[in-house]
Structure 1
Amino acid sequence: MPYSIANLRRQYQDAAADKQAGEKFYQLMAAYTQQDAVVLAYKAAAEAIRARDASMFDKLTYVQNASKQFDQAVQRDAANAEIRFLRLSVESNLPSFLGLSQHVEEDRQFLVKTLLAHPRSGLDAESFGLVRAFMIERGHVSEEEARKLDAPAG
């Protein structure tokens, strides 16, 4: 199943690290025509990765497409942590002058709250680990929040 969430997670991680994998991921996601909110968020992430590898002339177009697709995904399922994580991971890496990073703090707060509610948060163990690591490594949590996230759940 090319659009299973587990497959998309794996491809997204590969695409984030490798230009060829990024192009392959973009092609896969460009062919997606359904309206599943989480898959739409991965489609938006693929647009953002395409922007990373595109010419200066095309970068903004891909980033704007990604932003619109993230908005659609969040409108469809605003309570989905994976969608919010993908949007934060993209928006937090955009230059601020583009004005397309307006959801960073909102998504950051949502994800911290979701992580602290784990395992009752709806995130599976794999997602929890990925999101938690990203939030801590990228400095999206305070020292106190990081300590709480390091504490064993229970």
Structure 2
Amino acid sequence: MRKARWAAAAAGVVLVVTGCSSEGGSDEGKGGASGSSSQAPAEAGGSLDAATVTKEIADAATAAGFTEKPSDDVPPALKSCMVSWQPDDKKAADPKTSYDATVAALGKGGWEEWQTFDEKGSVIKSLDKSGWTVKASYQGQKDTFLLITFIATDNGPACEKLFREDLEKNKDS
């Protein structure tokens, strides 16, 4: 079951990164300029590590009214390159407001929003800081199916190699 959740999360991140926003979504740049799907994420090699990214996401999300839903979705080999933070949306008074407030708090903390996909109940925002990218995802409706995740990945070459190796290893699983 854990592998299925991890595979679904990884597929969602890969889908967004490879241009899922070409239809129906909007790309937004900061500073008043419109971005485009060809705009690259922040350069790799920043000063953040997985523990710092986890703390920044957790601080923003808990301040917005979320509590963390414990999970072990990140494979051990990728723990230094990836952070998966999933809120317990059932405990939030208004999950959409908490999601929006979390994204806003990350922005105030230096995470630059560079791409947004918004279509039919799904919102996925890409935010970059110091060589990391957060995919903030809100999918579904509160009273039916709802999935909210904050998945951050290190964009450096060492982590890129580890991600490729993990995908190849799990391709036939």
TM-score (norm 2): 0.26
Larger RCO (CA within 8 A; separation ≥ 6): 2
Larger proportion of strand? 2
Larger proportion of helix? 1
